[in-house]
Chains A and B, each alone.
Chain A
């Protein structure tokens, strides 16, 4: 990837992550992985199960701290941020879509989407109309008041996408968003994800096993042996 594609919104530099194994041994999942994500681009990360794809997402989002290396969000060294500043910046810069959706069962669809604005502290009058607009775009116009329990897997993932995009993050991190969906629904979700990120100008980092979905992104990275061996 080159800088002519825009500013670097997310950068990982020589990131390592080591875990303690059950037998006391050290398991080195990431061994100095480097990656840059530029504004408005999409990037897919592929790799075998256990290769450290999800761990990499956790580390670059600082949900887990790296054993070594540096992470920058919009040019800011994350390790230098205080806990409060880290939470605020995370809400501003990053959006998340997980394989298991993680919707709040007590809240209806609209309330789930609005939750990200509440936490960011940006809940205003137009937040509701923006959330409704996003839900319309993901095809859930008539399901605002439904509880997550009444939705199908595909619908839940679409709610999660709307929630992730409400705060207009610079980067959307999607960890196998189609992993729990059937092929047809997965295609719809991927199309929405790519389309909405493009519309909003958000960068997308997509962790996936599916080569077809990976091929739809601007860039493709292969994680193997704790390093990105190939970035196209």
Chain B
């Protein structure tokens, strides 16, 4: 073993002691920094993945959206269903309405569905099954042109229950009003509830038949688009591009083709940015830890000035003296990274126990999980993130050792030996 490495390790782990106290503090600093960085990154990855899964689960793989109302949609639907990539397709119409129960108004998103096709594209049956309130659970068979299904949280906000009749006001009323015509609000009885587990959806969505939606929005026989479910081996983005090229070339239908990725692009970009912003913030923990290494080693250079003089006297080169301190810093970094990775893996393994204990302590269990629709804290381990954090930390800790190393190398041996 080269002697600078030997001496560096001896200064970290002196003979007769487990480790040097000051070096131990530096190692703990790096360990905590790496741990926090990896935990945050892994949980953020988990959040991202879960949110993507939720988006895929509640949304179609691809939407073929008309540039305006699609009146001639039936041939398009047939054409799409014939394509090998497509597993199922369903027409839809959707938009915002005002809904009122007694004096409680709300402006939810309402979706008109084809009762025979919807379940092939969206897991609506599963969402209906999720409702545990017996008198408000229903199936798609209970939905007709007089009834409506609400998201569970929307129903709660509207204080609606079994037998509630809701008044629906649509933008079409404004159009009629301009022509001095009056269109009365449509009354619809609550058929039941659905629960997707996604608060944004459950608190802001309602489902009616396609025909009702066509009437509410004055679409005639038109729809807004066709939602597609692809075969499992298909990549939504690639298929969307292929379809778009096909429709642009054929010119038969004036449509836009959007994959779920494209449709939620800004949201997914936000998630990605959030992860990197968190990474950027957490970097400062490693910076502080590296600074503490630089301070510890600088103090060490000061304390060991005469020993540094002696090393030179017995034949050490300046570069070797410098590398002793650099190697100490790198060794602190390596141990900090190794312990940080182990600590992060351990903390992530027991994350749900820790978080549940904290939530119980603050009595915030329900609201936390309801908000995100997760059963626990998600985590997605990324080897890339682990490698990135490890390399980044090792570089920073090595740089932290440079300043004290240069100081040590610049000491004049005679002056070092004379120092008090």
Contact = CB atoms under 8 A, between A and B. Distances in A.
Interface of A: 54-55, 58, 61, 63-64, 83-84, 87-88, 90-92, 94-96, 98, 100, 102, 104-108, 111, 115-116, 118-120, 123, 145, 147, 163, 167
A107 B312 CA distance: 17
B209 interface: no
Contacts of B414: 55, 58, 63-64
B316 interface: yes
B3 A147 contact: no
B6 interface: yes
Contact of B315 (A54, A88, A108): A88
Interface residues of B, number: 28
Given A58-B414, A63-B417, A111 B312 contact: no
Contact of B316 (A87, A95, A106, A108): A87
Given A63-B414, A111-B10, A119-B315, A102 B310 contact: yes
B198 to A, nearest CB: 59
Given A106-B14, A108-B15, A111-B15, A84 B310 contact: no
Contacts of A95: 314
B10 A120 contact: no
A94 B413 CA distance: 15
What 6 pairs between A and B have smallest CB-CB spacing?
A91-B315, A106-B14, A64-B414, A118-B3, A58-B414, A102-B310
Contacts of B413: 58, 63-64
Contacts of B307: 102, 104
Given A64-B414, A118-B3, A96 B16 contact: no
Nearest to A94: B313
Contact of B309 (A55, A102, A105, A106): A102
Given A102-B307, A119-B3, A90 B15 contact: no
B15 A107 contact: yes
Given A63-B313, A100-B306, A107-B14, 15 more contacts: A61-B313, A63-B412, A83-B318, A84-B317, A90-B315, A91-B315, A95-B314, A96-B310, A98-B310, A102-B309, A104-B10, A106-B20, A111-B10, A147-B16, A167-B314
Nearest to B308: A102
Contacts of B14: 105-107, 147
A120 B315 contact: yes
A60 to B, nearest CB: 11
B96 interface: no
Interface centre among A98, A115, A167 (most CB of B within 10 A): A115
Interface in B150-187: none
A2 B174 CA distance: 122
A27 to B, nearest CB: 14
Interface in B289-317: 306-307, 309-317
15 contacts: A54-B418, A63-B313, A63-B412, A87-B316, A90-B314, A91-B314, A96-B313, A96-B314, A102-B309, A102-B417, A104-B307, A106-B11, A106-B15, A108-B15, A118-B3
Interface of B: 3, 6-7, 10-11, 14-16, 20, 306-307, 309-318, 320, 412-415, 417-418
Interface centre among B6, B15, B315 (most CB of A within 10 A): B315
B314 A116 contact: yes
Contacts of A91: 314-315
A123 B417 CA distance: 25
A98 B417 contact: yes
A116 B14 CA distance: 18
Contacts of B316: 87, 119
A88 B316 CA distance: 8
Nearest to B13: A106
A110 to B, nearest CB: 10
B69 to A, nearest CB: 82
Given A84-B317, A98-B417, A119 B16 contact: no
Contacts of B317: 83-84, 87
B412 A119 contact: no
A106 B313 contact: no
A189 B313 CA distance: 21
Nearest to A91: B315
A64 B411 CA distance: 11
A63 B312 CA distance: 8
A115 B3 contact: yes
Contacts of A116: 314-315
A94 B310 CA distance: 12
Contact of B10 (A58, A64, A88, A107): A107
A135 to B, nearest CB: 15
A206 B6 CA distance: 32
A119 B15 contact: no
A63 B15 contact: no
Contacts of B412: 63-64
Contacts of B311: 119
A120 B15 CA distance: 22
A118 B310 contact: no
Contacts of B15: 106-108, 111, 145, 147
Name which of A98, A106, A120, A145 has the most chain B CB atoms within 10 A of its CB: A106
A84 B318 CA distance: 9
A90 B10 contact: no
A119 B313 CA distance: 10
A95 B309 CA distance: 14
Nearest to B312: A63
A31 to B, nearest CB: 18
A84 B315 CA distance: 9
Kindly name the residue among A90, A111, A119, A123 whose own CB sees the greatest number of chain B CB atoms within 10 A.
Answer: A119
A96 to B, nearest CB: 5
Contacts of B7: 104, 115
Nearest to B6: A118
A140 to B, nearest CB: 16
Contact of B313 (A83, A84, A90, A111): A90
A5 to B, nearest CB: 26
